[in-house]
Amino acid sequence: MAEISSDLVVETNQLTKIYQNRQIALNDVNLKLEPGCVLGLLGHNGAGKTTLLRLILGLHRPTAGWVKLFGETMTPNSADLRCRIGYIPTNPQFPKGMTPITYLDYIARLFGLPAEVRKPRLASLIRAVDLLGASGDCVDNFSNGMIARLAVATSLINEPDLLIWDEPTLGLDPEARRSMLELIKTLARDKTLIIASHNLGDIDEVCNHAAVLSHGHLIYFGSLQDLKGRMKRNHYEVDLEGDQKAITKAMTALKSMAEFKLVNLRQRRLELRLTDDANNTSALANVFMTLADSKVAVISIRSVGMQTEQAFLDLVEEEESRGFARAYKAAA
């Protein structure tokens, strides 16, 4: 991450939030986000994701620590800083009786955009998110997909540098979800994004960094690649082609190898699970040699399981298993 603070889009230092001395929602969170970073914010329900986002937005005040955006400290009155943020809350709600045009106009005025700027901008955004046909309809009757598209338009009306989207794909049908992910990829080319989501597949697809929260504590912050690299890949599936007798022969040979704790054949799909201490490169090399010796062709090979999901679960489990030792690290 960057050395110079002013180059950072978001920086938090020992960020802590305790609600009314009853609930510790966030504990000592240190984050540094560079421009162009697409951060996936992960964590179970109640882990503190939304609290962190609300602190970054200045909707909540930190109990301790601070949040800086673009080098300036965020407070509830930092209107200028919020002009550089586009936010989508979880389950966005809109005032009753408004149409997409009146709502976007209202939000644009909240950003202080004069009429000659906001009118063309809202018109182009309504067209961009495919709400042209419903631009005069009341938002009260909108479907989840339409609400999500209006929320996207709302978050882009001020042409923000930082986008904070809380569960943007929640409740969307597959087509709308795909559109949303494609949009995130497009926006990621020149904006910084923070995406909070329970859908680890979405995070895996669009993010380049990850932050994992567990019980209000940041247990991982770094690149998504590093997060996945922490996970030991030891479960593979190999699709085979060849004579059934040859495949059975290869199976017998593979089962005799000590590196595998599971060798299973279903139809022509070979499932392999390596032992914990096995080296996967040499184990897979042995598999290929055995298959070649038996004249069995390999159609495809893949690592089984959602890598980000598995890495996330491993990380949370590891954190839980540390028990009281966690206090030792916090004090250090």
- Chosen residue from 16, 44, 65, 78 binding other proteins by CB under 8 A: 78
Q: Does 87 bind other proteins (CB under 8 A)?
A: yes
Restricted to residues 155-214, the positions that interact with other proteins (CB under 8 A) are: 156, 158-159, 179-180, 182-183, 186-187, 190
Restricted to residues 42-71, the positions that interact with other proteins (CB under 8 A) are: 54, 57, 59-61
The three-point CA angle 159-162-168 to 5° equals 95
Amino acid at 9: V
- Chosen residue from 4, 21, 22, 77 binding other proteins by CB under 8 A: 77
For other proteins (CB under 8 A), the number of binding residues is 52
Least separation in angstroms between CB 120 and other proteins: 7
Q: Dig out the tokens for 328 from the structure.
A: 């030792």
Least separation in angstroms between CB 88 and other proteins: 9
Residue number, 126 or 231, with CB nearest to other proteins: 126
Angle between helices 144-156 and 100-110 (to 10 degrees): 30
16, with CB counted inside 10 A (0-12, 13-18, 19+), is middle
HSE toward the beta carbon, residue 299, CA cutoff 13 A: 8
Q: 202 Cβ partners below 8 Å, 6+ apart?
A: 169, 177, 181, 195
Q: Does 23 bind other proteins (CB under 8 A)?
A: no
Going by C-alpha positions, the residue among 112, 312, 104 that lies closest to residue 222 is 312
Residue number, 133 or 323, with CB nearest to other proteins: 133
> CA dihedral defined by 224, 191, 170, 221, rounded to 10 degrees?
30
Under a CB-based contact definition with an 8 Å cutoff, are residues 196 and 53 in contact?
yes
Least separation in angstroms between CB 75 and other proteins: 8
Least separation in angstroms between CB 11 and other proteins: 19
Separation of alpha carbons 9 and 331, rounded Å: 28
Residue number, 153 or 203, with CB nearest to other proteins: 153
Q: 18 Cβ partners below 8 Å, 6+ apart?
A: 24, 25, 63
- x/- contact string, 95-134, with other proteins (CB under 8 A)? x-x--------xx-xxxxxx--x--xx--xx--xxx----
Under a CB-based contact definition with an 8 Å cutoff, are residues 154 and 126 in contact?
no
Q: Does 85 bind other proteins (CB under 8 A)?
A: yes
Which residues in 175-204 are b (16+ Cβ under 10 Å) and which e? ebbebbbebbeebbeebbbbbbbebbebbb
Least separation in angstroms between CB 72 and other proteins: 14
Q: Does 16 bind other proteins (CB under 8 A)?
A: no
Least separation in angstroms between CB 186 and other proteins: 7
Least separation in angstroms between CB 287 and other proteins: 44
Least separation in angstroms between CB 258 and other proteins: 53
Considering only 35-43, 88-96, 197-205, 319-327, which stretch makes contact with other proteins by CB under 8 A? 88-96
Chain residues binding other proteins by CB under 8 A are 19, 54, 57, 59-61, 76-80, 82-83, 85, 87, 89-95, 97, 106-107, 109-114, 117, 120-121, 124-125, 128-130, 149, 152, 154, 156, 158-159, 179-180, 182-183, 186-187, 190
